Amino acid sequence: MILYLLRRLAVTAAILLVICAATFAIFYLMPADPAQGACGKACSPERITEIRTTLGLNHSPLSQFGDYLTGIVSGRTYGTGEHAVNCPFPCLGFSFQTNQPVWQMLTSRLPASFSIAVGAAVLWLAVGVAAGVVSALRCGSLWDRAAMTAALGGVSLPIYFTALVLQYLLVVQLDLLPYPQVEPLTTDPVGWAQSMVMPWITLAMLYAGIYARVTRGEMLESLGQNYVRTARAKGLPEITVVRRHALRPALMPIVTIFGMDLGALLGGALITESVFGLPGVGKLAADAISSADQPVILGVTLFAASFVVLANLLVDLVYAVLDPRVRAVG
C-alpha cells in the first residue's frame, strides 16, 4: 500500500510536470510579446529591453521553463542588482496588470471558490443522492417520474438563467437574501452562508440532477444483484438491506465523479463566479484572459489542473479503501 502510494504520487508529479510544460509551451508559442504585455501601453524600447532581461526572456525556452519550475519549487529572483525583485516560494511570477505575485492573487481568491464549491457539493450530494435512492426504491412511481423530470430540468437549465431567476426572486422580489458577496466565514458565518446560498443553489441544481440520475441507475443495478437477494433471505430488515447492501456499492461510481467535479470546481467555478460577480479563481481567470495577463493565466491553469489531478489521486485512494478487491492487489 505504501509502495502503491509512492508510485501514485510519482505519477501525479509527472502528470503535473507535463501539464506545466504544455501550458508553458502554448504561451511561448503565442504571438503576443510578454515584455510588451508587462510594460503596458506607453512604453519605450529601452524599457522593453530592460524587462526582457529582468524576466529572462533572452534565455532559451528550455532554460526559461527551468527557471519557472525552480520558481515554483524554491522561489526565484528576477533581475540583478538594484532592480532585483525577490519572488518567494511558490513563485508563479507577477501579474502584468497589478504587479502582485500570482500566487498571492490565487490564494486570496481561493476562499471564495472554496466556499462556493464545497457548499454546493454538500448540497447536491445530499439532494441528488437522496432523490436518486428514493427514485430507485420507488422505481416507476409518480415520485420517480417527477424527480427524474426535475433532474433533467436541472441539468438542462443554463446556469446564468437559473442564477438570474434566483437573484430576481430571492433578492429583488422577496428581499430574503443580500446580493452575493464574500463575507469571511470566520467573522460572520451567518452572513457568509446567506451570501453563498444563491451560488450554491445554482450550482447544486445542475449537479444534483446529474447525481440523482446516476444514483438511481446505480441503485437499480445494485438492488438487482444476487447479494441483495441473499441479504433479504437472511432476514435482514429492509432498511439494512438497502443501506448496507445496495447503497454502498452504488456509491462507488459516485465517488469517482464527485472527486472529478469537486476538483474542477475548486479550480474555479467560472460561470457561477462571473454571474454573481464573486471574486473567485474562476473570475480571476476570466479577467486575466480578457487582459492577456500571461503569468496569471499560466498560474490559474496550473492551479486548476493540480486540483483535478490531485482529486483524481484522492479518488483512487478512496476507492482502494472502499473496495476490498482493489485494496488486495494494490
| Interaction site with other proteins (CB under 8 A) | 4, 7-8, 11, 225-227, 229-238, 240, 244-245, 248-249, 316, 320, 322-326, 328-330
Q: Which is nearer to other proteins, 190 or 328 (CB)?
A: 328
Nearest to 106 by CA among 254, 305, 248, 276: 305
Q: Which is nearer to other proteins, 74 or 230 (CB)?
A: 230
* H helix or E strand, kind and range, residue 86: strand 85-87
Q: Which is nearer to other proteins, 171 or 322 (CB)?
A: 322
To the nearest whole angstrom, how small is the minimum distance from the Cβ of residue 250 to other proteins? Answer: 11
To the nearest whole angstrom, how small is the minimum distance from the Cβ of residue 196 to other proteins? Answer: 35
To the nearest whole angstrom, how small is the minimum distance from the Cβ of residue 319 to other proteins? Answer: 8
Q: Which is nearer to other proteins, 188 or 323 (CB)?
A: 323
Give the whole-angstrom CA distance, residue 69 versus residue 66.
5
**Angle between helix 294-322 and 281-290 (nearest 10):** 150
To the nearest whole angstrom, how small is the minimum distance from the Cβ of residue 174 to other proteins? Answer: 45
C-alpha cell at 61: 525556452
To the nearest whole angstrom, how small is the minimum distance from the Cβ of residue 253 to other proteins? Answer: 14
Give the whole-angstrom CA distance, residue 96 versus residue 119.
33
To the nearest whole angstrom, how small is the minimum distance from the Cβ of residue 252 to other proteins? Answer: 9
To the nearest whole angstrom, how small is the minimum distance from the Cβ of residue 4 to other proteins? Answer: 7
C-alpha cell at 181: 458577496
Give the whole-angstrom CA distance, residue 77 versus residue 56.
10
Rg of the chain over all Cα atoms, to the nearest angstrom? 24
Q: Which is nearer to other proteins, 210 or 320 (CB)?
A: 320
H-assigned helices in the chain:
2-29, 34-39, 45-55, 61-74, 102-137, 142-156, 159-166, 189-223, 226-233, 238-240, 248-266, 270-276, 281-290, 294-322, 324-329
Per the CB < 8 A criterion, the answer to whether 66 and 56 are in contact is no
Q: Which is nearer to other proteins, 95 or 222 (CB)?
A: 222
C-alpha cell at 47: 524599457
Q: Which is nearer to other proteins, 132 or 249 (CB)?
A: 249
